[in-house]
Structure formats: C-alpha cells, structure tokens
Amino acid sequence: MTRIGAAVIGAGVVGLAVARRFARLGLETVIVDGEADFGTWTSARNSEVIHAGIYYPFGSLKAELCVRGKKLLYDYCYARDLPCRQCGKLIFAATPGQGVALDAILAAAEGAGVTDLRRLDAQEVRSLEPLLGCHEALLSPSTGIIDSHAYMQSLLGEAEDCGAQFARQSRVTGLSRRRDGWGVHIDGEAEPAAIASLVVNAAGLTAHLLARQTQGLASGHVPQVRYARGVYFTYSGRAPFSHLVYPVPVPGGLGTHLTLDMAGSARFGPDVEWIDEIDYSVDPARHVGFLAAARLIWPELEPERLVPGYAGIRPKLSGPGEPAADFMVSGPQDHGLPGLVNLFGIESPGLTASLALADLVAEKLGLGWEEDIDASR
C-alpha cells in the first residue's frame, strides 16, 4: 500500500494552490483529478477577474480571503512574470436612483477593508470610458485580470518541482478512515490506492458528493449545494473599453458585466440561472436578453458581433432569494476528523482568494501560514 503525506482531490485553482503549499512544506503530495488535465471545470469557466473584495460582508471568509488573496496573487504574478493586469473596474449607476446602491457598495467595501474606491461623476467616467453613458460610478483601481491557465500551470509546475505528483483520470469515489490516515479510493475500488496522512477535498462542484462518501463524516458537516449557471456572450472584435464595467449587482450575482481578457477580447456575463445538474450549454436564443444588458454598457454595440460564448457553474451554499452564503472551509476542529479539510461553496472570488485559501487550509491542518509567498524564489 502506497503511503503519502497528503492527497489533494481536485486540480482546480484551489487544489493546485493547496498542493503547491503542501509540496513547498516538504509533504509528499499527490494531486488527484478525475479529468485528463488540470483546471478544466470552474477554474476554466470564469471571468478571470482579480477581485478587490468590494461586495463581501465584513468578517466573512470571502471578504478576508479576497483582500488578502488579491495581494498575494498580484505579488505571485509580478514575481514570476505571469500575465495579469491591474486594469481597474467601474461600477456604474445607470439612473440617478441607483446612486443609493453605489453608496451601499462604498460603505460595505470600506467595512471589508477595501479603502481605495473612488466616486466619479459622469464627466470623470467619460474621460476614462468615453462610450459608457451613466449617471455616476465607482472606480475600483485594484481590480484586475489574470490569465488563469498560466497561473494554474505555474502552481502545478512549482508543486511538481517540489516533488508533488499529478494523478490524472483518477476519480476519487470514497475516503475510508485508517488508523494512520485516510484511504483514498479511486474509481469505485474497494481497496484504497493510497493511504494519506492528510486529505483535502477541493472537488469544487462535487465536493459535497465526495464528502458524503467520506467515512465517519457526520451529515451535518456536509452542506446542501445548489448550482447557479452563469452564461457569457463574447464580443467578436476589439472592444473600445480599457476598464472592466459592471452595473450595480443583482440577486445571486454581480449583474451582466463587461470583462476583458489578457488578449483584449471582451465578454458579457455571467448571468444567473438556477439549475439542477451540471450543464454547460449556452442557448443562442438568449442573445436578445444579453444584447439588452450589454447595451446598458455599450449602447452602440452591433448585435451580430455578440455571439454565444461559454458557461460556468457556481457551487452555491444558499438558494434563490436567500442571502449569499460564505465559503465553507471545514477542518478537524469543525468536524472532528483528523487530517481532513473539505472546501464547499468555493464560488467567486475563489480564483482571487486561491493562495489565501491554501494558507487557511494549511492552518486548519496545523501547518501554519506562509508569510512570504516568494520566500523560496
């Protein structure tokens, strides 16, 4: 029987950040993923925005880990010449009445430790984005964009350089308790493929399903997870915007916004649609609604240039109409089982928070925090 220090289940951005962290601590680490490559689920289907931490309630994990993760992520990228850009973001009030929403966002952001937001009048907005017609806006200068694939590649590379292994096409179907760790069962095998002293369940959309197959884990420590699909339509051509542009938020999401990628392409979305199964389809008939939402940002947008893009799915711990739930990072002190951490509900800002989440997982397992992300460069 193979014995290892740690099994990290899920090679999305969070699992990779955790694996890198463990490997750098000298733990013999195996990253296990059911797919043929890393980062093919939610980590490949998002907006690639480095969020400032504006919308999350004071004291929440989302607020704390987003603000801390943003700094860690910029430092990580700058130190390694990874593609990212602090392009800034505008949250605009389309009508005078929405100014109240901007007041609330500003107050909440300051409470959560985001102190660099600036209020702009319509003329100041026009000087930054001449095509955006609005009443007023907030500018978030620390918001940015990142090439998430390059970032994940770097995390995996660093983990492997420190001795970690990546087990592809290996779906974990159960975790059994052993005297000296956890049996990791692959593809329904009764015998574990390995015994790991530490296990981190970073299985994203299906983390709750794996948790249900974890021996000894009481059902009260496995939350109900709901799926909220977010669809994008992309703009074919070069968009005349240099900032990310958001309306005031809507229930369940941030509202259909305009984001840019590192290649300068623009996309509109994601919207919010509650679904029961994992289904990434994009219905071309939704063009009408997307065009209407996109024209709030860019009134002259040519309809034929707006084309169906892709979809991502948020693993949500709250349902429609309920207050947004926080991330749930559940370790031994929470559920009582040694050596196990489950991550649930890692929706946005999980990409931004990934390095801070890795620190939190290490802390939950008694491994301590990494003070200097670049200490070993």
Ligand X SMILES: Cc1cc2nc3c(=O)[nH]c(=O)nc-3n(C[C@H](O)[C@H](O)[C@H](O)COP(=O)(O)OP(=O)(O)OC[C@H]3O[C@@H](n4cnc5c(N)ncnc54)[C@H](O)[C@@H]3O)c2cc1C
If one asks whether residue 15 binds ligand X (CB under 6 A), the answer comes out as yes
The count of C-alpha atoms lying within 13 angstroms of the C-alpha of 174, restricted to the half-sphere facing its C-beta, is 13
84 binds ligand X (CB under 6 A): no
| Site membership for ligand X, residue 53 (CB under 6 A) | no
Closest residue to ligand X using C-beta atoms: 350
Structure tokens at 124: 């100041």
350, 355, 358, 362: which one contacts ligand X (CB under 6 A)? 350
Our finding on whether 47 is near ligand X (CB under 6 A) is yes
Count, residues near ligand X per rule CB under 6 A: 40
Should residue 192 be labelled a site residue for ligand X when binding is judged by CB under 6 A? Answer: no
Closest approach, Cβ 353 to ligand X, in A, equals 7
b/e map of 82-96 (b: 16 or more CB within 10 Å)?
A: bbbeebbbbbbbbee
Q: CA–CA distance from 187 to each of 32, 171, 213 (Å)?
A: 12, 5, 13
User: What three-state secondary structure class fits 330?
Assistant: strand
Among 120, 155, 184, 210, binds ligand X (CB under 6 A): 210
Q: How far is the CB of 101 from ligand X (least distance, A)?
A: 20
Contacts of 218 (CB under 8 A, 6+ apart): 335, 336
Q: State which residue, 66 or 136, has the beta carbon closest to ligand X.
A: 66
| 172 lies in the binding site for ligand X (CB under 6 A) | yes
* Smaller CB separation from ligand X, 225 or 296: 225
**Shortest spacing between CB 48 and ligand X, in angstroms:** 6
Q: Does 43 bind ligand X (CB under 6 A)?
A: yes
Asked if 87 touches ligand X (CB under 6 A), the answer is no
Q: How far apart are CA 188 and CA 172, in angstroms?
A: 8
Dmax (CA) for the chain in angstroms is 68
For residues 13 and 43, the answer to whether their CB atoms sit within 8 Å is yes
If we measure between CA atoms, which residue out of 61, 66, 45 comes closest to residue 317? Answer: 61
Q: Does 144 bind ligand X (CB under 6 A)?
A: no
In the complex, the smallest distance separating the C-beta of residue 79 from ligand X, rounded to whole angstroms, is 19
Task: Give the torsion through C-alpha atoms of 316, 311, 84, 20, to 10 deg.
Answer: 60
Q: Is 46 in the site for ligand X (CB under 6 A)?
A: yes
Distance CA 43, CA 204 (A): 9
Task: Decide: is 203 part of the binding site for ligand X (CB under 6 A).
Answer: yes
Helix runs in 2-60, H state only: 13-24
Q: Which is nearer to ligand X, 24 or 316 (CB)?
A: 316
Which one, 172 or 217, has the nearer CB to ligand X?
172
- In the complex, what is the shortest distance from the CB of residue 67 to ligand X, in angstroms, rounded to a whole number? 12
Please report which helix (H) or strand (E) contains residue 126, including its range: helix 122-128
DSSP bridge partners of 294: none
CB closer to ligand X, 50 vs 138: 50
Dihedral angle of Cα 48, 54, 56, 60, to the nearest 10 degrees: 100
Binding range to ligand X, per CB under 6 A, among 53-61, 244-252, 297-305, 345-353: 345-353
The residue written with tokens 């990434």 in the block is: 280
Give me the residues that bind ligand X (CB under 6 A), please.
9-15, 32-35, 40-43, 46-49, 51, 171-172, 202-206, 210, 230, 270, 312-314, 346-352
